[in-house]
Each structure stands twice: as C-alpha cells, then as structure tokens.
Amino acid sequence: MANFITLNTIVTDLLNTVRGSKISQSETISRRQIEDWVNQYRGVLIKQDLDKGKMPNPDYIQEIPSLRLEVVDKTTESELASDAYFMRTVLELPNTLDLNFKSGFTYVGTLDGKEIQLVPEGRVYWQKFKRFTKKEALAFLRNKHIYVSNVTPLSHITVRGIFEIPMEASRFINPALSTQTYDTLDDRYPIPVSMVPTLKTMILQQELGIMAQAPSDNTNDGANIVTPNSMQTK
C-alpha cells in the first residue's frame, strides 16, 4: 500500500471524479490528457510558490544520477592546471522550471558527492582572472547540456532539479545504467501532499468546469488524497 503520492493515484482520482460528474465530454477524456494537466498545474503551483522567494521544497526535486560526460576541449591556459578539461553531458537534459531568472537545477556534483557550482556561462571566462579561485570547477547550462570547466577528467556527474515534466526525468535513459531510473507511474510524484487538493481543484474547475464540494479522503490508500463528495458543472 503506497504511503506517498503517485501520478497514477492522482490521475485515477481525477478520472473517477470526472466520470461521476456525468458531464458530456467525460468519456472522451483520456488518462494522457489528465497526466498533461497534472504536470501543467504542478508547474503553475510550484512557480507561484518559489516566486515568493522561498527555498525549493525537497518534494519538488528529482535526481538524474550518473550522467556520462564527454571531453569538449583541454584547457590551454598556462595559468590553469595542465590537467584541466572542458567537458559536457553526452545527453540533452529535460527542461526545468525557470526560477526567478535562473534554471531549475538545484545541484550538480560528482558521484562521490562533491558539489560543482552552477553559474551563468559568462562567469566561466572571467574565472581564470581570479587570484584564489581560478582553478575552481564550474558548471553551466547551454543548449540543454551541462558543461563543466576546469576539471580533471570526470566520467559522470549527478544532477538534481525541478523539471517541467517529471515523466521526462523519470524516463531518462542513461547509457551508464542498464534500466530506467524510476518506475514512472507508481514512483513518488514530485509534489507535496498538501498541494494535491489545490492541483485537483484547479484542473476540475479550470479545465472541466466542475465545482468541487466538501472534500474527503475516499481512496483509503494511506496517502490522504482528497476527492470531492459532490460536484456541479458550471
């Protein structure tokens, strides 16, 4: 019995509500359509929350482990370490939510847990002129790849972020791994449980014109997910 929120549970609850409302278009609404709405309104709610200047809730964040890197170039600057390299992820990364004029990536680091600072691309050029930190490894985002500068050769990095479409991160196929990183439908969906009722209400009202009343937990799955007891259409 699941004790966390899954996409499967949210979609099933919404489908049951839609079909119980007896609206004319209910039979033409697919699970895929509802999945899209859930992802879209999750993004809206997270953006509203983080635009207030709050720290990202850990429940928003997903991890893509063991991303393989390739060498772009070897550093030729004499003032830098002779074994420094310029590298990038082999694969393009899923889009993240934009958070107050910065990307939604919250962590870039080595497999042994050493964080690499994620900075605007322009800072990488000026780093070599800094006296005490010119050899510091830096990462930046360009064209959906993460680049890492001034490092000894790395084979892989790990990234974490708040992704626009969680399923894209969940289904991310990594050449370093033999299987997918997540069970996409029944793994933990990256949203706090307290946000789920608001997300459902927004979808029901704004996409389907269903007004929810007197919510209660009818699923009895231990996740405390509420569903409307009665509805009326606009």
Stretches in the chain below the pLDDT threshold 50? 1, 76-82, 178-182, 214-217, 224, 226-231
CA angle 119, 177, 181 (to 5 degrees): 75
Say if CB 75 and CB 134 are below 8 A apart.
no
The residues, any chain, with a CB within 8 Å of residue 12's CB and separated by 6 or more, are none
Least Cα distance to 38 among 211, 171, 185 occurs for 185
pLDDT of residue 130: 61
Q: Where are the domains of the chain?
A: 7-58+190-233, 62-170
The string of pLDDT tens digits covering residues 113-127 is 999 989 887 776 666
| Residue 52 in tokens | 């207030």
CB atoms within 10 A of CB 162: 25
Both tokens of residue 115?
């964080």
User: In terms of Cα–Cα distance, which of 213, 207, 95 is closest to 159?
Assistant: 95
Q: Report the distance separating Cα 99 and Cα 107, nearest Å.
A: 14
Q: Provide the 3-class DSSP secondary structure of residue 76.
A: coil
pLDDT for 25 equals 60
**Residue pLDDT, tens place only, 150-172:** 767 788 999 999 999 998 887 77
Contact indicator for 155, 171 with CB cutoff of 8 Å: no
Q: What is the pLDDT of residue 186?
A: 78
Judge whether 174 and 66 are in contact, CB under 8 Å: yes
